[in-house]
A = this chain, B = another copy of it.
Amino acid sequence: MPTADPGLRPIADVARDLGIDESALEPYGRDKAKVRLSALESASSRRPPGKLILVSAITPTPAGEGKTTTSIGMAQGLRRIGKDACLALRQPSMGPVFGRKGGATGGGASTVEPSNVINLQFTGDFHAITAAHNLLAAALDNQLHFGQTAIDPRRLLWKRAMDMNDRSLRRIVVGLGGPGQGVPREAGFDITAASEVMAILCLAESYQDLRARLDRILVGYDREGGPVLASSAGVTGAMVAILNEALMPNLVQSAEGSPAFIHGGPFANIAHGCNSVLATRMALAHSDYAVTEAGFAFDLGAEKFFDIKCRSAGLNPAAVVIVATVRALKMHGGVGLDELTQADPSAVERGLENLAAHLDAARHFGKPVVVAINRRKEDTEGELAVIHAFCEGLHVPCATADVFGHGGAGSTELAEMVVAAADGPETPYRPVYDLDLTPEAKIEAIARSIYGADGITFTAGAQAKLRKAERLGFGELPICMAKTQDSLSDNPKLRGRPRGFSITVRDVEIAAGAGFLVALTGEIVRMPGLPRHPAAGRIDVDAEGTITGLS
């Protein structure tokens, strides 16, 4: 039977540290709570907002970078040096937890807790998003069934959602069985993290904004190519009712008792990949330093964080942290996964090209940058010295942090550097592109400035979609690049710092509710499959009711 972790503080105490009154909490068990949005208003009348620190990373490799672990450790480190810090992080998707990934709540001495619950259903937000998404799908198919919609069944874009890795649901045919069973048509499921409802919840500022965004989801086209919006299905009010509690940020704590808002988890390729705006606002409103992260590496996650999330919410980060590991740099330097245990400073040196590319990209946003080396016990001093020397040459502050082994105590130097960076003169918000550029020009700005591409190619289909988006009035939306996370280019095999490459945009989608155009490069899987030996096979519950095999 589940029992509260005896090492965790009562969540009301954690809230009190933040100045959040117990009356603003909706407790979920003893160690987690939802925080009512009214807490934002009462905080803003009491204190100025804190400084926003974005944690990003180098290009991910199978070696792992530990961006979440570093974020958590750094927030703990900030508190160790006497600073008032609060985390704002994404919630892991349950599907991948059962697939290949296992848990995703940090590691070692730098975790958010109760990790087992956060990794599974937590406070039910993903389930609520799934249900709201599928109510819209059911209502649309119901309108087709009763002949109540002008939508062309072949142009119905809205799929169904499930928080599960289930490849068999990617492409399906629904409505079989005769005239009483709906209208037969091709359909499919995306994983919940890929639902536009997820992206919407993460960008919504209020219940009213949530409703307005749901209403303007583009669900398909009629036979003349005219747009059909979600509002026409008549269930967006019920969708908000389903999402009523899900919109409230969840408060938990790190292993060392640091406060953490864990809320929302959109894909970082076809969506913007950050925790909710409301969670970021909660962290900012109740602490001096709000530590947040963006999905994947700087080129994907941080670019979207600045150009989509910060623009939409009027946020302006004070500093950026880029996480690297010796292991990952070695992989970027050409070392294979099996050979990573051997010390190889020259491979690290070669791999630093990847870090350099992200540091160059970061310069476009004009924010102070700190490099965090997430130390692993097998790292050698020689390898670490190569990274430090490199950063010194660029005049970029760099700290080695042992967040896994020592938690906050292992990252006080990093915390000091981040405070120094964030406490400097305020820098203006500077996006990579302005919204009034053409979509092509926006995409080109990202590809050249952030990815380092030489050129950009649009397929005829992508161009037609962009013209359609403009005709429908969506030309001024920001761009959400759906690109492989494994390379700065659109070729996942190219590690390090690819040069002389061109990006191909093969398709474009309109996420009118979330408020961005998705530019697709390469094939993006929106519904993962389970591997040959799913992680679910190792998960169990022991005789005391404790979940095992998740971390």
Contact = CB atoms under 8 A, between A and B. Distances in A.
Interface of A: 1-3, 26-30, 36-38, 94, 98, 116-117, 120-121, 123-124, 127-128, 130-131, 134-135, 137-139, 141-142, 145-146, 148, 160, 162-177, 180-183, 187, 207-208, 211, 234-235, 237-238, 240-242, 244-245, 248, 529-530, 532, 534, 536-537, 539-541, 543, 545, 547, 549-550
Copies of this chain, count: 2
Contacts of A175: 167-168, 171-172
Nearest to A234: B537
Contacts of A242: 120-121
Given A139-B534, A537-B238, A541-B207, A162 B146 contact: no
A30 B36 contact: no
A254 to B, nearest CB: 21
A133 B72 CA distance: 33
B207 A244 contact: no
A138 B164 contact: yes
Contact of A27 (B2, B29, B121, B138): B29
Nearest to A527: B181
Nearest to A546: B244
Nearest to A173: B173
B142 A530 contact: yes
Contacts of A172: 172-176, 187
A137 B139 CA distance: 25
Contact of A131 (B37, B164, B550): B164
A169 B529 CA distance: 20
Per CB-CB distance, the 7 closest pairs between chain A and chain B, nearest first, are A237-B540, A168-B182, A127-B127, A171-B177, A138-B166, A238-B536, A124-B124
A160 to B, nearest CB: 8
Given A138-B530, A176-B173, A547-B241, A145 B120 contact: no
A146 B244 CA distance: 40
Contact of A167 (B28, B166, B182, B187): B182
Nearest to A177: B171
Nearest to A97: B238
B238 A539 contact: yes
A240 B174 CA distance: 30
A547 B237 CA distance: 9
Contacts of A235: 98, 534, 536-537, 539
A530 B170 contact: no
Nearest to A38: B1
A163 B134 CA distance: 9
A405 B112 CA distance: 49
